Amino acid sequence: MNPDASDAPSSNASPGSVEPEVFGAAKAGAAALSLPAPTDAELDAIVSAYGAMTHDLRIFMSGVEQYIGENPSLVVNGHRLVHSSKSRLKDPAHLRAKVIRKAAEGKSITIDDFYTKVTDLAGVRILHLFQEHFSEIDSVIRRKVDEGDWFLAERPKAYTWDPEAVAYFHRFDLEVSEKSTSYTSIHYLVKPRADSKLCCEVQVRTLFEEIWGEVDHQINYPVPTLNVSLREQIKVLSKIVGAGSRLLDSLQRVQQAN
C-alpha cells in the first residue's frame, strides 16, 4: 500500500508466483545495472522470513484497524466519522515481484532488511466522508503514539495533486508531497515500538479519493499504462473526485449552519 502501487485488500495472504514475463522483464532490467538480480534462493528466503512474521503482523494490523475504525471518540452526535476500514497482508507473490523490481532499479532488498524497506507488508485503510474529519482521525493516531503504545517509523506523509488540499494538510504535522499522478492519501508507518520488525502502513483518505485509487490501481498496477487516452481520463477523474469532495464538505457546512 504505497503511493504508486498497492495490493488489493485481503486478510489472507497465500504463497503464489508472478507471471514469467514479469520476472523476465525485471531481471533483464537488473542485468543492465551493476546490482545483480536476486536469485530464486534469495527470493525464497525473503518470502519464507516474511511468512514467519505474518502471524504477529496480522495481530498487530488487526489491532491498529480496530483501534482507529471502532474508536468511540470518532463517533460524534451519533455519527461515525470513520465510514469504513479494511486491511490486508502483502501477497508473497507481490513481495517477490517488488524485490525483483527494486533490484532492476538498482535498489537492494535482502532477507536482513526487507521488513524495513518494504513498509507495506501490513496495510490498513481508513475511509471517511468529509475532509475535515481527518483532523479527528489524525488526533486519535497521534494520541496512541503520545501514550507510548505506537511508534511512528517516519513523519506521516500527505500525498495530493490538489493545491487546496496542500494548504489544508500543511495545517498538520505532515510531510506534504504533491503527486503528478493525481494520487491523494495520508500515510502513517506505525510500529508497536521503535526496535520492532513489525510495521503497519495506515492510509487515511476520503471515499471519493478511494474511488480514484481503486480505478487507478486497476489501470496502472503493476505496470503503468501507456495508453494516452486512459492516462488523460484518469486525470479527469481526479478533478471530478476533488470537486466531489469539496461539494460534500460544502453540504456538511450548510447542514451544520441550520
List the pLDDT tens digit at each of the 258 positions of the chain. Answer: 544 444 544 433 333 333 334 444 444 443 455 588 999 999 999 999 999 999 999 999 999 999 999 999 999 989 999 999 999 999 999 999 999 999 999 999 999 999 999 999 999 999 999 999 999 999 999 999 999 999 999 999 999 988 888 999 999 999 999 877 778 899 999 999 999 999 999 999 999 999 988 898 899 887 889 999 998 998 899 888 888 888 888 888 887 887
Question: What is the rounded CA–CA span in Å between residue 51 and residue 46?
Answer: 9
pLDDT of residue 235: 87
A 10 A CB-CB count for 39 gives: 9
* Chain CA centroid to CA 2, Å: 4
pLDDT of residue 223: 81
pTM, two decimal places: 0.82
Count Cβ atoms within 10 A of the Cβ of residue 249 and give its class: 0-12 exposed, 13-18 middle, 19 or more buried. middle
Q: What ranges in the chain are assigned the alpha helix state H?
A: 20-31, 40-69, 92-104, 114-117, 134-146, 163-169, 207-220, 228-257
Consecutive H or E run containing 126: strand 122-128
